[in-house]
Amino acid sequence: MTDTESLRKRALTTLITARERTTLLTSCVEDPDLTAQHSPLMSPLVWDLAHIGNQEEQWLLRAVAGREAMRPEIDSLYDAFEHPRSERPTLPLLPPAEARQYAAEVRGRVLDLLESTAFHGSRLTEAGFAFGMIAQHEQQHDETMLITHQLRRGPQALTAPDPEPAPLFTGPSEVLVPGGPFTMGTSDEPWALDNERPAHRREVAPFFIDTTPVSNGAYQAFIEDGGYEDERWWAPAGWGHIRQHSIHAPLFWHRDGKQWLRRRFGVTEVVPPEEPVLHVSWYEADAYARWAGRRLPTEAEWEKAARHDPAGDRSTRYPWGDADPEAEHANLGQRHLRPAPVGSYPEGESPLGVRQLIGDVWEWTASDFLPYPGFRAFPYKEYSEVFFGPEYKVLRGGSFAVDAVACRGTFRNWDYPIRRQIFSGFRTARSGAV
């Protein structure tokens, strides 16, 4: 099989995988749930569905194939920058059946296009980038739709097997990452997005980082010690936010007598102490770290812990090496609807012994979302450039809701520090070599 044939097969597989997941997320509830807005933070599910089709049409059928617009009158309805999420339910959106038909018609034409496209000649088509970009875009919206399902009130609509039980992790609580330079970012990952580029050398002082993400049990200790009531641990803006909104625990948690319960995709359950804490804001993560006498890792520290192989002084694609993720490496792709216990996936650990850096929960870092030296926006400024600045904090590593196509050691996510509906957790770090 030639390289072009391999790329074509990869593009086909990732597009089909994304559409299967989109179909699951939009077929497990009735139409009223698709058109409702379940939170002002999120779009109606039917908006995401048609937006997925519209982006695919614009970038593959129009930009790559040079074809005329199928339905130019709907472009503005599904422009994420023209209409904030809070007002999307008031727009004349395509109803569910029509949205499905539109997305399916676009996909049928795209699959025909994929058979004939030469993967060279332009930046959009080189190595199948545009097809990879669209597969990643759809999977990112699938994660967004899964967040909407979590926010949705009502009976359980989604099911999935739990992760395999793991023995209690008894390894070291932290790992020393040696100081020195390493290669951050990438210039040769064919489907990497603009904010991951270019590769560049970054110097990092020695530091310790948690071997696993912070668990629910550890976070409960912070709560029980009055962490939400003690201003000492909080950034001023974070303290003001939790006071204003009466926040006393992670989102979806509530106390029942002496135990904590949580709501997870329509099911109420006891908070499992062995799982990574989930649905916490950057402010909460930062406060816990201060309470624990530690701090959040910087983005560069996180990436060095995840990618640096000291044996060869090189950066790998993933903590376990360069091979694409398999089930034994990480909890990805909505295979499960919850994180695996901390310490799981020993085959996915980094050369230094850090676990679960990919999958399970997005991990907040201390860093603002900023461009790398030599950054160039591609293929449009609105993907990354308009978000650069101190308003957004970087998250790394992906979650159980992220597909492998949209998750790698260089992948960067970002959000406001108040956000909690996302599948976010964290691990802590401390400076020094002793």
Provide, for the chain, the percentages of residues in helix, strand and coil under a 3-state DSSP scheme, each rounded to the nearest 5.
Answer: 40, 15, 45
What is the per-residue pLDDT for 168?
A: 85
CB of 234 within 8 A of CB of 123? no
Kindly report, residue by residue over 78-131, the tens digit of the pLDDT: 999 999 999 999 999 999 999 999 999 999 999 999 999 999 889 999 999 999
CB of 40 within 8 A of CB of 85? yes
pLDDT classification of 434: cutoffs 50, 70, 90? low
pTM: 0.97
What's the whole-number average pLDDT of the chain? Answer: 96
**Is the N-terminal amide bond of 346 cis, ω within 30° of 0?**
no
What is the per-residue pLDDT for 427?
A: 98
Supply the DSSP symbol for 58. Answer: I
What is the H or E stretch that residue 261 is in?
Answer: strand 259-264
- Alpha-carbon distances of 16 from 20, 23, 101, 107, 108, rounded to whole Å: 6, 10, 16, 9, 11
Phi, psi (rounded to 5 degrees) for 25: -70, -20
Phi, psi (rounded to 5 degrees) for 430: -150, 150
Phi-psi region of 432 (alpha: psi -120 to 50; beta: other; left: phi over 0): left
Kindly report, residue by residue over 116-162, the tens digit of the pLDDT: 999 988 999 999 999 999 999 999 999 999 999 999 998 999 999 99
- Alpha-carbon distances of 150 from 115, 142, 214, 423, rounded to whole Å: 37, 12, 21, 10
Q: Give the rounded distance of the alpha carbon of 271 from its chain centre.
A: 22
Phi, psi (rounded to 5 degrees) for 424: -110, 140
Tracing tokens 């970038």 back to the chain, one arrives at 59
pLDDT classification of 20: cutoffs 50, 70, 90? very high
Q: Tokens in use for 198?
A: 């270019």
CB of 360 within 8 A of CB of 276? yes
What is the H or E stretch that residue 83 is in?
Answer: none
What whole-number distance in Å separates Cα of residue 401 and Cα of residue 100?
A: 22
What whole-number distance in Å separates Cα of residue 101 and Cα of residue 274?
A: 43
Which is nearest to 150 in space by CA: 426, 422, 424, 334? 422
- Alpha-carbon distances of 115 from 5, 62, 131, rounded to whole Å: 10, 16, 12
What is the per-residue pLDDT for 167?
A: 85
CB of 432 within 8 A of CB of 206? yes
3-state SS, residue 267 = strand
Phi, psi (rounded to 5 degrees) for 18: -65, -40
- Which amino acid appears at position 70 of this protein? M
Residue 131 CB-half CA count within 13 A:
29
What whole-number distance in Å separates Cα of residue 220 and Cα of residue 24?
A: 34
**Is the N-terminal amide bond of 161 cis, ω within 30° of 0?**
no
CB of 214 within 8 A of CB of 404? no
pLDDT classification of 177: cutoffs 50, 70, 90? very high
Kindly report, residue by residue over 38-51, the tens digit of the pLDDT: 999 999 999 999 99
Percent above pLDDT 90 for the chain: 94
What whole-number distance in Å separates Cα of residue 227 and Cα of residue 239?
A: 11
CB of 280 within 8 A of CB of 427? no
CB of 148 within 8 A of CB of 45? yes
What is the per-residue pLDDT for 1?
A: 42
Kindly report, residue by residue over 342-380, the tens digit of the pLDDT: 999 999 999 999 999 999 999 999 999 999 999 999 999
Kindly report, residue by residue over 222-247, the tens digit of the pLDDT: 999 999 999 999 999 999 999 999 99
CB of 76 within 8 A of CB of 92? no
